[in-house]
Amino acid sequence: MIHDHQRTKGSSKLIRASSGNVMLCGNLGNIRAPVAIAPARNLVDGSPESAKELTNGSTPDHGRQLATNGSEAEKLKEMGNEEYEKGRLAEAVALFEKATLIDPDKALYRSYKAAALVAMGRLLEAVGDCREAVKIDPSFCRGHQQLANLYLRLGEVERAIHHFKLVKGEASSRGIARAQALRSCLSKCNQARNLKSWHILLKEARSAVSAGADLSPQVFAFQEEALLALRKYEEAETTLSNEPKFDTDASTKFFGASSTAYFLTVHAQVNMSLGRFEDAVALAKKASQLDPRNREVRAVARKAQCVALARSTGNGLFKASKYREAFFSYQEGLHYDPNNAILLCNRAACHSKLGQWERAIEDCNAVLNLHPAYSKARLRRADCNSKLERWEAAIQDYEMLMCEMPGDEEVSRALLGAQLQLKKQQDGEVKDVRCANFITITTKNQFLQFTALAGLSVALIFDSCSDVSSQELALLEQFCKHYPTVNFLKVDVQEDPYLTECGSSLPVFKLYKNGSSIKEIAVSDPEMLESSLEIFSK
């Protein structure tokens, strides 16, 4: 049964919801111990009310039918418990629903169904079933506690307090105290928001989560709004992705039109910051329909429309190679949203196409300050630094990109080219190198980086103190011209003591593919090397 399952897990633990962003708390009170079942004894199984119904003008056949129905409903409930334990939540909900249809006067079945709905992330539906449960049996204390806890998690303090008052004993006092603490947090959130004290708003909103409102769309919106104002866009995205999802109509019915409009407005702004302009426009439009007189809502709707239009127009002009006109379109969008990373990155692309590499780098810097993981801006900055022959800066960005996008051939080739050019710049020439895919390795980290690349790499590993003839080096140079997609590495273990770990018996050719060592070939066997190149380079 569900309460047995809960007991083995521990009453204070959380059960991860199937939706990926909602959790069912063990203290909801409807599925833990036999105490949840006790209040239902006055409904079935020889309760006074059932006995009264059977003796008050009911026939024996009718009584037997009621008993049969009750037995069938109990079986369905047990089957629902089993499905719940297996994580088959939809099946559990269906079985609990069947039980309620057979015995609609038993509050416990509604309570069980509500618990399964919460686990599925269908929170507002769960509230509906909890309401039905306590309507059927107003003395169902555990049902009131379940509903109160659910209201608390949704941030509905006054409703939570109302139902906590209907719970008997110490649980009532504890619940009311929790709700009052949450009320204080939410009050501070509203004050901080009115004063635009974003650090305080973020702190108090997180305190509200700790106080119990872990499923409240208002509390999530507070956090997201504060993070946007503090330019912590990636955290805002993470917070939005973790937020429970509600149907707009259901949210409006439960939380009210003004509150739902606020949630949608914040969601629109997060989507705008991420470049999801069409989604932002749609959300802002819904918000303005729900609360048309709200100035703030109308302003966000207009901003979303203007920014989306600027991006769309700019993209069309850019594709038509009208880079200057595209620049002005993106510039207009930035007038409405100065810190929009997508528009800044697109403007950088225009600068680059117009040969204004310094300005392009400035825009890329601005983007990466806002979104450090925005690889497109980092790649563009690396390309612009390469055009300005700032090889060290370009290499730094390409190396970071290799960590973020392992196996990307475009980035790996750009990195190799930049390293080659830096070597030329430092030495005036590159010894032993005749083509871009032949590189001299000087550190173990560099060796690991290149052998981890996608595709085939061939390393000549040797000790400069041992005999390595120019014939082997010339052979490698010859192969690098015939196999331009293969990376050829010259590895002298004297350059870095840690490089001695790269080969046991030296000198040797070692072949790596997609980061794995696949073959060792003696330097005295060039025919084997050539045949291996033929096989593994395909």
Burial of 220 (C-beta count, 10 Å sphere; 0-12/13-18/19+) = buried
Q: What is the pLDDT of residue 38?
A: 32
Residue 30 domain-assigned (yes or no): yes
125 vs 3, 129, 156, CA distance in Å?
A: 21, 7, 15
Q: How many domains does the chain have?
A: 2
Cα–Cα distance measured from residue 78 to residue 96, given in angstroms and rounded to the nearest whole number: 9
Q: Are 233 and 244 in contact (CB under 8 A)?
A: no
Is residue 512 classed as helix, strand or coil in its secondary structure? strand
Indicate whether 31 belongs to any domain.
yes
Domain limits for position 492: 431-538
CATH number, domain of 511, equals 3.40.30.10
Q: Is residue 289 part of a domain?
A: no
**Residue 488 belongs to what H/E stretch?**
strand 487-492
Q: How far is CA 162 from CA 158, 167, 173, 198, in A?
A: 6, 9, 12, 32
- Answer yes or no: is 409 within a domain: no
Look-up: residue for tokens 């005295």? 524
Q: Is residue 316 part of a domain?
A: no
Indicate the residue among 153, 182, 197 that finishes a domain.
153
Residue 126: enclosing H or E segment and its boundaries?
A: helix 123-136
Residue 312: its pLDDT value, please?
A: 96
**CA distance linking residue 211 with residue 189, whole number of Å:** 13
Secondary structure of 426-485 in HEC code, one letter for each residue: HHCCCCCCCCCCEEEECCHHHHHHHHCCCCEEEEEEECCCCCCCHHHHHHHHHHHHHCCC
Backbone angles phi, psi at 522, to 5 degrees: -65, 145
pLDDT of residue 20: 35
Cis peptide before 507 (omega within 30 of 0): yes
Residue 469, pLDDT score: 62
β-bridge partners, 511:
458, 519
* Length of the chain, in residues: 538
Q: Is residue 194 part of a domain?
A: no
Helix, strand, coil percent values for the chain (each to nearest 5): 70, 5, 25
Q: What is the pLDDT of residue 68?
A: 58
Name the strands in the sheet holding 508-513, side by side, starting at the edge strand that comes first in the sequence.
Answer: 438-441, 487-492, 456-462, 508-513, 516-522
Q: How far is CA 179 from CA 27, 114, 217, 268, 430, in A?
A: 14, 21, 17, 30, 72
In-domain check, residue 195: no
Q: Rounded distance, CA 513 to CA 515, Å?
A: 5
Tell me what pLDDT residue 467 has.
Answer: 60
List the helix and strand counts (H, then E) for the chain.
25, 7
Amino acid in the structure at residue 408: D
In this structure, what DSSP letter does residue 87 have? T
- Residue 346 covered by a domain: no
- The answer to whether 22 touches 102, Cβ cutoff 8 Å, is no
- Furthest-apart CA pair in the chain: how many Å? 111
Q: What is the pLDDT along the chain (538 residues), one digit of tens a residue?
A: 333 333 333 333 333 333 333 333 333 333 333 323 233 333 223 233 332 332 334 444 544 454 455 688 889 989 988 888 888 899 999 999 899 899 898 989 998 998 999 999 899 999 999 999 999 999 998 899 999 999 999 999 999 999 999 988 888 889 999 999 999 999 999 999 999 999 999 999 999 999 999 999 999 999 999 999 999 999 999 999 999 999 999 999 999 999 999 999 999 999 999 999 999 999 999 999 999 999 999 999 999 999 999 999 999 999 999 999 999 999 999 999 999 999 999 999 999 999 999 999 999 999 999 899 899 999 999 999 999 989 999 999 998 998 888 777 788 888 888 887 887 777 654 444 446 677 788 887 778 878 877 778 898 888 876 666 677 777 777 787 778 778 888 888 887 777 766 666 778 889 998 878 899 988 888 889 889 988 887 7
Q: How many Å apart are CA 509 and CA 494, to the nearest integer?
A: 17
Q: SS3 for 492?
A: strand
The one-character DSSP state at 498 is G
Looking at 96, 120, 153, which one is the last position of a domain?
Answer: 153
Structure tokens at 190: 């509203």
Using the 3D structure, point to which of 133, 153, 173 is the last residue of a domain. 153
Q: Give residue 300's identity as a one-letter amino acid code.
A: V
CATH number for the domain that contains residue 119: 1.25.40.10
